[in-house]
Structure 1
């Protein structure tokens, strides 16, 4: 009988050069559980060992592609609320995913959108495209005026 299972390989290079060796890399997939990703990332960023007894980190990179992009952005936004003062650098790019169906295999290369977001306790280059400064808590967001317009 034919084997129609799909195997998948992809390049996982993040387009942010020069990351320190101890940067925590979080790969977000469509089926990833946000609470599990955030539990690990928050513990490591806040200097707790967590379940893995890992050392504290000053930078974390979240990467996701295709249908995992929305979940990647959600993780980043929640972590920025849990850990104050994080600088952000976001990069959008495309990557090639190779899918092989069956054995001997029909191979198909697909190009999918991807996102790579660096959160750092240390300052980043504000001139770098995709940079966002830390949130400024306590600053109120301007309210929209809902007053009726004067009629002529």
Structure 2
């Protein structure tokens, strides 16, 4: 590859009508997360719209390196608004990288790749098809919740501890 330099990238753009989620609400907020997006900016925009009751559903989409950021945003928003319904879908998009030759007589190389993409639908209202793949009902009891039916005393290790305070050396 020392005889080539990186040329242009041609990426397949995500379209609003190509979101692979079934039964999307008519009026939903679509948050496209990029690698350089700031989580605070994304969340402030989404929370403002949800607080204004402009919509009851948000779709978070992220591709490649933006997938963890999209998941984090969805998890934070889910906890902040106690959202009970989630559908997650994984797909991919096509990217073509063009490598241009430095020397005469060589041909341009085209590398075709598939980048993973995640779409997370969070809905305050019930989702019509609860049997679709990727659906999560968040009202169900979680495995880490404490069972209140037992009569055992809590152990001392469950008590909250004071946070560590740093003292400056003198």
TM range, smaller chain: 0.7 to 0.9
- Displacement of 1:23 in angstroms is 1.2
Greater Cα radius of gyration, structure 1 or 2? 2
**RMSD after superposition:** 3.2
Q: 1:98 to 1:4 in 2, by over 3 A?
A: closer
Partner SS state of residue 96, structure 2: strand
Tell me, yes or no, if structure 1 residue 113 matches structure 2 residue 111.
Answer: no
Q: What CA deviation, in whole Å up to 9, does each residue of 1:79-114 have, x standing for no partner?
A: 011112331000112221234567xx8644310111
Give aligned pairs, total.
136
TM score, norm. by length of structure 1: 0.73
5+ residue gaps in structure 2?
101-107, 148-154, 156-170
- Which of 72, 83, 86 is the equivalent residue of 2:84? 86
Tell me the distance in 2 between the aligned counterparts of 1:21 and 1:63: 17
Partner of 1:122: 125
Distance in 2 of aligned mates of 1:58 and 1:119:
8
Name the counterpart of 1:132: 136
Please name the residue that 2:25 is paired with.
Answer: 20
Deviation, structure 1 residue 67 = 0.9
Q: In structure 2, how many angstroms separate the alpha carbons of the residues matched to 1:9 and 1:140?
A: 42
Match of 2:162 in 1: none
8 Å Cα contact 1:46-1:83 kept in structure 2: no
The answer as to whether partners of 2:11 and 2:93 remain within 8 angstroms in 1 is: no
- Residues 116-135 of structure 1 show CA distances to partners (whole Å, capped at 9, x for unaligned) of 00011111132111111135
